[in-house]
Every structure is written in structure tokens, then in C-alpha cells.
Amino acid sequence: MVKREVVGAHYGLRDWLAQRITAVVMVVYTAVILSVVAGLPRMDYWQWKVLWQTPVVRYATVLVILCLLFHTWIGVRNIFMDYIKDPALRLALYVLTIGALVWYGVWSFRILWSA
């Protein structure tokens, strides 16, 4: 086979930007949640449960979990792109990573809705 460098995928910006935007979302969410928790008069299991049953918090958390998963995906894929040279192995690792992330996502939503 011809050994040729193929470059110019014309993506990368979207991912780079997404990684930054998701990071901002996560930082804002973390700050808000922490301040809400700190502002509570007392902290017990019922309070905690009520907090996560509040629709705003619940949907914000869904958003943040999606952000986290996407952020992780970009970051982990970056590491694979840096170090894993074999395309087949890299593709396999991608699939494994996506599988794991989807699993984490489903798991997180189940926890959230069981609250």
C-alpha cells in the first residue's frame, strides 16, 4: 500500500470548542449546586432527596452528565490519538470507550430518577 500522510480532516475545531463549552457548563453547575447545598439550613437525607427531585436541578444535572460524557469522550479520544498508532486498535478502544460512557450515562440517569 502507498504510505501517504493523510491530513485535513476538517474537524477538530468543533470538538475543541465543545470541550471548552462543556467545561464551562460543568463549572457553573458545580458552583451553583455547592452554593445551594451550603445555603441549606440543615442537611439530611430528606433535604438531599428533595433537592434532586426538583425538576430544575434534575434537568440541569442531566445536561451536566451529558456534558461530562462528551467532555470525557473528547479528552480520552485525544489521548488515544496521541499514543495509539494502530488504527484498528484505536477504533476498538473508541468503541469500548463509547460503550463505557453510554453505560455510565444510563447508570447515572437511573440513579437520578430513582431519587
Is 86 a residue that touches another protein (CB under 8 A)? Answer: no
Is 11 a residue that touches another protein (CB under 8 A)? Answer: yes
Q: What DSSP assignment string belongs to 89-104? A: HHHHHHHHHHHHHHHH
φ, ψ for residue 40 (rounded to 5)? -65, 140
Residues sharing a CB contact under 8 Å with residue 46, sequence separation 6 or more, in sequence order: none
Among 1, 2, 13, 38, binds another protein (CB under 8 A): 13
Is 9 a residue that touches another protein (CB under 8 A)? Answer: yes
Q: Which window, 35-43, 64-72, 76-84, 106-114, contacts another protein (CB under 8 A)?
A: 76-84
Grid cell of 108 as nine digits: 447515572
Site string for another protein, 23-52 (x = CB under 8 A): ------------------------------
Residue nearer to another protein on the CB measure, 47 or 78: 78
CA torsion 94-24-17-80 (nearest 10°) is: -20
Q: How far is the CB of 89 from another protein (least distance, A)?
A: 15
